Amino acid sequence: MTLSRKPLIGIRIPPWATFARRVIDGVLEVSRLRGSWRLQTDENAMGELEQREIDVNWRGDGLILFRLSPKESRVFARRGVAVINISSEGEPSIEPRVIPHNEEVGCLAGKHLLDLGLKRFAFVGRRSTIHQDERLCSGTRVYTEERWAGFQRTVGPVPKCLIDIPDLRGETAWRHVRRELVRFFHTLEPPVGIFAVDDPLAVGVLHACEEAGLSVPEQIAVVGFGNDTTFCHSAVPPLTSVAYPGRELGIRAAKRLWQRMNGEEIDAVTRIPIHRIVRRESTDILAFADPAVERAVRFIRDRAPHEAVLVSRVCEIAAMSSSLLRLRFEKYLGRSPKAEIARVRHEHLKTLLTETEASLGEISNGMNFATPQELSRFFHRMEGTSPSSYRSR
């Protein structure tokens, strides 16, 4: 039965979850199409507004929550409140989940590290975490196992450091994490590509590398997950990260919530595809055994984001024929020089579309496309959609 009034929808995402704004943007997009929901979030305006908390006493029609306690689950079910959980964690429950495709996160991180020419890899994750707030679901981290599985499927069996993290509010938790990481690093033979399960832990890896006297990225190349602006850009060096699909997740969660509020059956778990990694200085290394290939790849990755690099120019840099260069690229990268140029331009274009407000004309000029129309044709060929459609995700 379709709801006849504007539903009241609650959204609760912890303040440290910096993807919250992108998720809410996705929810708002669906809300506008449904006739505008009334939205409520946890609010603490430092006394300027009445503090509001979404807990077992909350009354409304539907909820999108990042984790919830077993008690909340029972209370909301008894009240007939539709709930969508947007976290992988917590006990199995009656609430459908809408979550990132965690195995694809690990796959994309692995592909990026392989593209650097690295041969040795490692994984860092949380085995378990203790929270004081029961709604944050202490215990084994499901996302760690799933991202590790995707990473290993891409790069092969790897050593791992799974950390049992004590109360995250404790003043010494970070010391415990750093101590475990330094101990783990002593077992590795650089250069190594490390995938850390999320951006906060990846920053911890960078700090532990400094303590252990290991240089990043020359000895340890580091990839995180989340593409959190604060974590990634305040890190030294800035952190490469797989992007969290916040807007897409918010859209899908809102659609699933609408279906639940109207009594429709939906899947227990909806996984949002992972499309993009944002490369920064923490993986600015090439480790190919062939110096000529390394020179050629470095040239492409430095120049292709800003100009239409010709394969003939790459051959000059590598000092070899086009046929030999193609054979070497196929051996080390699994693709041709032309395909590598297109891949680098495609990835840079996706970053500009999602992280800047530059017009297609400005982007076209900056990347040295002849016209915005040529840019659009290139993007459609690579992505299967238009730049404007991709930007609105």
91 lies in which domain range?
Answer: 8-100+246-272
Whole-number pLDDT of residue 389:
87
Domain annotation covers residue 2: no
Whole-number pLDDT of residue 14:
86
One domain, residues 229 and 135:
yes
One domain, residues 83 and 123:
no
Series of mean pLDDT values for 10-residue runs along the chain (393 residues): 72 87 92 83 64 85 91 90 91 84 98 96 87 64 94 97 75 83 96 97 96 96 94 94 95 95 92 93 94 96 95 96 96 95 95 90 97 97 92 74
One domain, residues 234 and 187:
yes
Output the six-digit token pair for 325. 């260069």
Whole-number pLDDT of residue 1:
41
The total domain count for the chain is 3
One domain, residues 268 and 352:
no
**DSSP per residue, 179-197:** HHHHHHHTT--SSEEEEES
Output the six-digit token pair for 300. 């492409």
Domain annotation covers residue 181: yes
CA-based torsion, 288, 290, 294, 296: positive or negative: negative
Domain annotation covers residue 297: yes
Tell me how crowded residue 193 is: count the other CB atoms within 10 A of its CB.
29
One domain, residues 322 and 263:
no
Whole-number pLDDT of residue 292:
95
Taking every pair of C-alpha atoms in the chain, what is the biggest distance, in angstroms?
A: 72
Whole-number pLDDT of residue 111:
97
Whole-number pLDDT of residue 33:
81
Q: Of 58, 60, 6, nearest to 37 (Cα)?
A: 6
State the Cα–Cα distance between residues 118 and 131, nearest whole angstrom. 36
One domain, residues 82 and 43:
yes
Output the six-digit token pair for 28. 């708002």
> Could you tell me which residues come within 8 angstroms of residue 204 by beta carbon, excluding any fewer than 6 positions away?
174, 177, 178, 181, 196
SS3 61: coil
CATH number at residue 75: 3.40.50.2300
One domain, residues 338 and 379:
yes
One domain, residues 86 and 134:
no
Whole-number pLDDT of residue 106:
98
Output the six-digit token pair for 330. 């196929």
Whole-number pLDDT of residue 167:
63
Output the six-digit token pair for 126. 């949380």
Domain annotation covers residue 3: no
SS (H, E, C) 72-115: HHHHHHHHCCEEEECCCCCCCCCCCEEEECHHHHHHHHHHHHHC
One domain, residues 107 and 153:
yes
One domain, residues 56 and 17:
yes
One domain, residues 239 and 255:
no
Q: Of 194, 124, 226, 206, nearest to 165 (Cα)?
A: 124
